[in-house]
Amino acid sequence: MDQPPEESSNESSNESSNEPDALFALPVLPTLPSISPPPVNSTIFFHLLGSRPFRISSPLHSSHLVMEFVQQVQQQQQQQQEQQEQEESQERDDSDESQERDDSDESQEGDDSDESQEREESEESQEEEVEEVEEEEEVHRNRRTKRSRPDDPEQEDRVTKRKRLETYHSTNHEEEDPMSLTLHSGEIMYFKKGEPTNVLLTKSLEPSLLVRKILSVMPPGVVRRLNYLSTFIVPATEKRNSAIVQYYKDLQDKVMSAYMKECKLRFLFKKVINRWRVHKMNRSCEDDVDPITLCPPEKKVVVYDWANKKKFVFEANTLALSIESKLMYYEHGFPTPLYPQNPHNNLEFSYKQMISMYYQLKSHGESMWACTTLRQCNFNKRRWFKFHKSAITLSAIRSSISLLDSRNSVDILSDFLFAKMEELHYPVTRHIVNLYQTAMLKVPNHWYIEKCKYVAMIHFESEHFGENRSRHIHSYCFQLFQKQSLFFKELQSMNIIS
């Protein structure tokens, strides 16, 4: 009675031991419907791919899980298929785009090839037209040559030789061996063949081509020209063959006479050109008005500016004063000479303009000391100031003190007077200083101020030349300062001081 239950328990244990093998075979889809449900109240553990183990406590729960798993697998397969389809569609789109690009490139290449073919065809047609024109010209030339061709072969050779020589000379061909001339000193001069260009002498004036070539290489400058001409001079103590000496003497005479003709021609041409330029500048000048007085000048001084092609007209007296004031210019009693300037544009006069103005002023009788001494120094300002520094300095001091036209000149004179007053023990107060400076500014030509100027000039001249005249200056100042009270009374009567 007890055995049957054991068998049943064994069978159940065997079945329970075999069911896990069947459950692990679940991924095979066709065998899913044939799976038998496990018995009631059995516990089954299984492991899915990529998931944790589940505990199934009932057959209903296990079937539900299996169906969910199947659905998940189907969804994964569908997703994989969709991904594959998307990839295939993308590949198709990429292939279509690449084909379209290739087609567009091929079409562009075809267009370029068509354009290049058209260009080649047009160029070929142009070349054919040019060749046809050249052939026609050759036919016409051949016809002309046949007409002009002589029957005599010797004459034909002469014609061809003449044409060859004409082409030779038309190309300005220069031979390798130039012309040469051996001088009496043994030196050799080489000249290129051909007519010289920088010579005014022509064949009618000088028929010798060699002489014209000698003058064409004349160097610039007086000294260099004289040295160049001295190479053609034959010394008087020449003791060689008489024929050779005579040849060199004849060459010397021809070169010298041709050089004199060349100089005369150049001088005449320069004269003509200068007159033409002056005529043009005279026409461009509208009216003759002096820029300083703004009146028509009585004694005209005309100055031409060749660089700017302009004409300037000045009054002789005003121009002479302007030159004198520039040369005798001073600052604070110290000479600072300036070179004469053009009142129109405030530019310094050139050397040629200064020479022209000097002779025009001299002809009008308006030349002054500064302009005359500057002409003696060849219009060199530094040299002029070096030689006439003493006179220029004294003139600057004298003009600055005598005019009293600036505060600096007033200070120079007042400093001298107050220094002498201290030496002679006269009181120098602030009130006296103000009185003297006020009188110098308001009445610079008063008799007392004029005597002060005279004493100051003696003092500065003695200092400049290194003379000792202090006794004479002190005695004169002592007599002058005794009249100081009278000077103050006159200032009060003139209502200059109170």
Least trusted range by pLDDT, from 48-52, 134-138, 377-381, 401-405: 48-52
Least trusted range by pLDDT, from 413-417, 455-459, 465-469: 465-469
Question: Strand, coil or helix: what is 198?
Answer: coil
**pLDDT of 171:** 45
**pLDDT of 143:** 63
Average confidence (pLDDT) over 232-249: 75
174: number of CA atoms within 13 Å, CB side?
8
**pLDDT of 107:** 63
- The answer to whether residues 313 and 306 touch, using CB atoms and an 8 Å cutoff, is no
Q: What is the DSSP letter of 494?
A: T
**pLDDT of 158:** 54
Q: Which residue has the higher pLDDT, 220 or 47?
A: 220
Average confidence (pLDDT) over 225-239: 80
User: Over pLDDT 90: what percentage of the chain?
Assistant: 20
Tens digits of residue pLDDT in 260-285: 999 999 999 999 998 998 888 888 87
Give the model's confidence band at 140: pLDDT under 50 very low, under 70 low, under 90 confident, else very high. low
Whole-number Å distance between alpha carbons of 492 and 178: 99
Give me the DSSP letters along 285-322.
Answer: ------TTT-S--SSEEEEEETTTTEEEEEEHHHHHHH
Q: Which two tokens stand for residue 173?
A: 């061909």
Backbone torsion region of residue 174, taken as left when φ is above 0, otherwise alpha when ψ lies between -120 and 50, otherwise beta: beta
Could you give the dihedral angle defined by the CA atoms of residues 251, 257, 258 and 260, in that order, rounded to the nearest 10 degrees?
A: 140
Average confidence (pLDDT) over 293-301: 87
**pLDDT of 408:** 82
**pLDDT of 9:** 42
Whether the predicted pLDDT of 180 surpasses 90: no
**pLDDT of 6:** 45
Whether this prediction's pTM lies above 0.85 is answered by: no
Whether the predicted pLDDT of 32 surpasses 70: no
- The answer to whether residues 361 and 301 touch, using CB atoms and an 8 Å cutoff, is yes
Give the model's confidence band at 122: pLDDT under 50 very low, under 70 low, under 90 confident, else very high. confident
Helix pair angle (430-442, 407-423), 10° resolution: 140
Tens digits of residue pLDDT in 95-119: 777 777 766 666 666 566 667 777 7
**pLDDT of 376:** 92
Least trusted range by pLDDT, from 168-182, 221-235, 387-401: 168-182
**pLDDT of 244:** 77
Least trusted range by pLDDT, from 49-58, 92-101, 135-144, 417-426: 49-58
**pLDDT of 37:** 44
Give the model's confidence band at 361: pLDDT under 50 very low, under 70 low, under 90 confident, else very high. very high
Whether the predicted pLDDT of 431 surpasses 80: yes
Average confidence (pLDDT) over 452-457: 91
Closest residue by Cα to residue 409 from 473, 453, 459, 446: 453
**pLDDT of 375:** 92
Q: Which two tokens stand for residue 149?
A: 């061709």
Give the model's confidence band at 323: pLDDT under 50 very low, under 70 low, under 90 confident, else very high. very high
**pLDDT of 160:** 55
Whether the predicted pLDDT of 10 surpasses 90: no
- The answer to whether residues 19 and 37 touch, using CB atoms and an 8 Å cutoff, is no
Least trusted range by pLDDT, from 51-60, 212-221, 382-391: 51-60
Whether the predicted pLDDT of 360 surpasses 80: yes
**pLDDT of 285:** 76
Task: Report the mean per-residue pLDDT for the chain.
Answer: 76
Give the model's confidence band at 144: pLDDT under 50 very low, under 70 low, under 90 confident, else very high. low
Q: Which of 38-52, 139-153, 205-219, 381-395 has the highest mean pLDDT?
A: 381-395
Backbone torsion region of residue 294, taken as left when φ is above 0, otherwise alpha when ψ lies between -120 and 50, otherwise beta: left
